[in-house]
């Protein structure tokens, strides 16, 4: 029997305990031995929980118990979660997490500790919730040189944009509905301003390109400034607006990563990823393009991915999984503003149309929409000059 401990008994932590209890026999068959939740660490009293007898408050009990070989961290954030993860790994225990903020900000350090102690630090659920993406990148696609990864990485923003596109509902109204349905937090900033997606694209870039990408160093734009006017104009031109996290390798070996709204045509499968679903595209030089699709969040899907990592950690107790990335110097990350792309621009006034080199234009109530030629953000801003810019988005 393998004993594990769960840190944090919120949505994901409780889901992990439930999945292990419900699927005990199948999990034992996959792991090669039974997995038992010995401790649940939480500061709250939960007398009505079926797992109440396993609740403790003192992490040091877990840390010092030689019978606990795997710790599941579902606390979230980077304070207590970082301290407890460091201590668990240093004590020779593998750690499994769904905490994308922690992995994006401190994954390099934590993976180094895991390597030193010959244990595992696994985080399948940190990017796509229930979508298998970390394991495919680190195992199934290792014969490929991956040159690009991008995706719809946040179900809240995708739900909001889907409703705006399909039903013409304004942003504020759909956000309130998403909060009522439990898709958005009371403070939705991390979702709607793109920070959640930024953490996830950093982890994907780390794994795909092998160099550490600091989430504080990438450019992030959210969806709070998207209006129904832009949704309507984009639709009239044959596009949908989606929030994408995107990272790719440049010919000189540097990497660029960013989060921003994009116009996407229906020639891309990812344009059909709607509602709260996520979609992640990986492009390899041997495979070509591959789309991973599924539920990117939620209690059961995320718990499913966490438990799969627990099984993996148990199976790799004698020989740890090879997973990780290297530190990056200051020149490894290229500024997304220096990357040329096509743009959607809606403005009033008189931009330098020749410099914009538009492929299509659309007039609407005193405003003009341009689908530009390939320009960097700096070139675009110079071409727009004093024009009153109402919106500008990249085109995939």
What is the Cα–Cα distance from 241 to 395, expressed in whole angstroms? 9
- Residue 139: burial class (beta carbons within 10 Å; 0-12, 13-18, 19+): exposed
- Residue 285: burial class (beta carbons within 10 Å; 0-12, 13-18, 19+): exposed
Catalytic residue among 38, 100, 117, 200: 200
User: What would the DSSP string read from start to end of 97-157?
Assistant: E--HHHHHHHHHHHHHHHHHHT--EE-THHHHTTS--HHIIIIITTTS-EEEEEEE--HHH
Specify the residue for token string 């895991």.
114
E strand map for the chain: 2-7, 35-41, 55-56, 68-73, 94-97, 121-122, 146-152, 219-220, 239-249, 255-265, 277-284, 288-295, 342-348, 360-364, 367-371, 388-395
Instruction: Look up 200 and say whether it is catalytic.
Output: yes
Residues carrying an active site annotation? 200
């Amino acid at each position: 029997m393998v004993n594990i401990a769960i840190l944090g008994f919120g949505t994901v932590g409780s889901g992990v305990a439930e999945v292990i209890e419900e699927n005990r026999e199948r999990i034992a068959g996959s792991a090669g031995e039974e997995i038992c939740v010995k401790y649940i660490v939480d500061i709250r009293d939960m007398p009505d929980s079926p797992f109440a007898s396993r609740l403790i408050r003192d992490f040091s009990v877990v840390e010092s118990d030689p019978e606990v070989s795997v710790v599941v961290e579902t606390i979230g954030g980077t304070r207590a979660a970082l301290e407890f993860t460091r201590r668990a790994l240093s004590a020779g225990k593998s750690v499994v997490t769904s905490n994308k903020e922690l992995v994006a900000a401190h994954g390099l350090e934590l993976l180094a500790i895991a390597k030193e102690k010959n244990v595992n630090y696994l985080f399948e659920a940190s990017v796509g919730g229930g979508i298998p993406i970390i394991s495919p990148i680190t195992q199934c696609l290792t014969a490929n040189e991956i040159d690009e990864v991008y995706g719809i990485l946040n179900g809240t923003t995708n739900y909001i944009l889907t409703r705006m596109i399909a039903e013409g509902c304004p942003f504020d109204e759909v956000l309130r509905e998403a909060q009522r349905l439990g898709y958005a937090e009371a403070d939705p900033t991390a979702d709607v301003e793109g920070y959640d997606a930024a953490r996830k694209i950093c982890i994907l870039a780390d794994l795909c390109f092998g160099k550490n990408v600091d989430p504080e160093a990438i450019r992030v734009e959210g969806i709070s400034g998207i209006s129904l006017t832009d949704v309507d104009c984009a639709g009239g031109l044959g596009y949908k607006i989606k929030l994408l996290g995107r990272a790719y390798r440049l010919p000189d070996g540097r990497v660029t990563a960013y989060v921003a709204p994009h116009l996407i045509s229906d020639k891309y499968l990812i344009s059909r990823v709607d509602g709260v679903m996520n979609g992640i595209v990986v492009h390899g030089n041997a495979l070509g393009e591959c789309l991973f699709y599924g539920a990117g969040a939620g209690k059961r899907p995320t718990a499913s991915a966490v438990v799969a990592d627990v099984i993996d950690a148990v199976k790799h107790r004698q020989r740890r999984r090879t997973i990780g990335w290297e530190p990056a110097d200051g020149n490894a990350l290229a500024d997304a503003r220096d990357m040329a792309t096509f743009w959607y621009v809606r403005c009033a006034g008189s931009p330098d149309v020749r410099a914009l080199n538009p492929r299509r234009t659309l007039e609407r109530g005193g405003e003009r929409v341009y689908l530009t030629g390939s320009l960097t953000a700096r070139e675009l801003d110079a071409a727009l000059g004093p024009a009153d810019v109402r919106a500008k988005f990249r085109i995939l």
